[in-house]
Amino acid sequence: MLDIGPIHRKEYELDADRSEAVVIAEAPGRVHYLGEHGEPKAGLFLSSAIDRYIRVAVSARKDSSLRFYAADPEERKRTTLVNLKYKREDRWANYIKVAIHVFAELGYPVKGLNFTMAGNIPQHIGLASSSAIEVAAAVALQGFFKAPIENDDLLNRLIASQKVFFGKQITPIDYAIALSAQEDQFLVVDETTLEVTPVQSSISEYKILVMDSRVPRLGVEEELKERRHNIKKGLELLAQKKPGTSLRDFVTADLIESMGNLPEEIRRRSMHVVQELRRVYDAEEALAKTDFQTLSKLILHSHESLRDLYEVSCPEIDWLVKRAQEIDGVLGSRMTGQGFGGCTYTIIKENAVEEYMRRLEDYERIFGFHPVIYEVKPAAGTRLVSAEPAKQLG
């Protein structure tokens, strides 16, 4: 990844002797292994931060301008605090604005500031690159202002600020992962409480490959909106016969007994959510016990459920998962992300990678898409990379 300190100083013509403070922070991307497509605001995830990061540098300006520079595409944006609002044409800079808004609302002297951003998280494939920008910018500003803000408070303020800028409430899961992750740990994240439970990684003999299928994803949001409506309706119907405030209050037997009472599509969607919750708990236990056989079955059944019950997979993704699971040395493979294309992850031994790559050649020949592979591993969360003291805060 680019060393953005010198890049930042060159872009904004800062003194080379470091008399002008530059604070740099980095935040990771993440992968969800189990738990996606659960009940909104009541999800349970098995996830990890990954060793791909966004870095954001910040320094003071002598005027009141807010300047933004993305080093990778060499793009520049600008605004002022008075005009700090979402602008579609500002794209990536809007995520830095979210963090600026947090500190402006807290009363810190947000006047003229320079920002530089760079990173190696692949964008637009569901690895949380956008939230990484927000968190990295927020932690950089936290260091710049020496702000005594606890992670829980910062998380909640980012959520509120995100809603101001983008007009919708987002899941705070990605913030929680970025702020809580530790190296070589999986995380069980409870969306209802934002409690993060670390699970020591026991898969050091395996690699994790995230594969972008390159399948175009069209009309995804409408499809997912329909499924969320199905889940909500399923809970309402189930609660008529058995008390419950979320699908966590129900088990598979409740869904089986509901046959004939729930519309079949709603029952299937609800069944996926109920069973996926159980899979996350079982996977946590399997990882703790280094029970790879159980973990492998859980990953397999999770993908089958996403394919058959929640119906967010597609032929290309199913082909990739099936072919990967056939390889000796693959612990598990499953779709990850919003679905209808997008990515898979595969947990695989080194000696099986060559065969995995060979099968991807067949994929390109059959479907016509050239997949892109990223090797990742569970990694540490957000941190200050460089924190020189700011001299002019008044």
What residues are annotated to the active site?
174
Q: Taking a C-beta distance cutoff of 8 angstroms, is the pair 124, 336 a contact?
A: no
- Count Cβ atoms within 10 A of the Cβ of residue 213 and give its class: 0-12 exposed, 13-18 middle, 19 or more buried: buried
Strands 185-190 and 44-60, how do they pair? antiparallel
96-108 in b/e burial notation, b at 16+ Cβ within 10 A? bbbbbbbbbeeeb
Distance CA 350, CA 358 (A): 14
Contacts 24+ apart (CB under 8 A), 93-98: 93/68, 94/165, 94/166, 95/130, 95/131, 95/133, 95/134, 95/137, 96/56, 96/68, 96/133, 96/134, 96/137, 97/66, 97/165, 98/134, 98/137, 98/138, 98/158, 98/161, 98/162, 98/165
| CA 231 to each of CA 225, 309, 311: distance values in angstroms, whole numbers, following the listed order | 10, 12, 13
Give the Cα separation of 156 and 140 in Å (integer): 17
Q: Is 218 exposed, middle or buried (0-12, 13-18, 19+ CB in 10 A)?
A: exposed
Number of Cα atoms under 13 Å in the Cβ half of residue 100? 30
153 to each of 95, 149, 179, 181, 291, how far by Cα in Å? 18, 6, 11, 17, 37
Q: Burial letters for 370-383: b for 16+ Cβ neighbours within 10 Å, e otherwise?
A: ebeebebbbbebbe
Q: Kindly state the DSSP code that residue 329 receives in the 8-state scheme.
A: T
3-state SS class at 281: helix
- CB atoms under 10 Å from CB of 164, counted, come to 15
Tokens encoding 56: 């954001």
> Residue length, the chain?
394
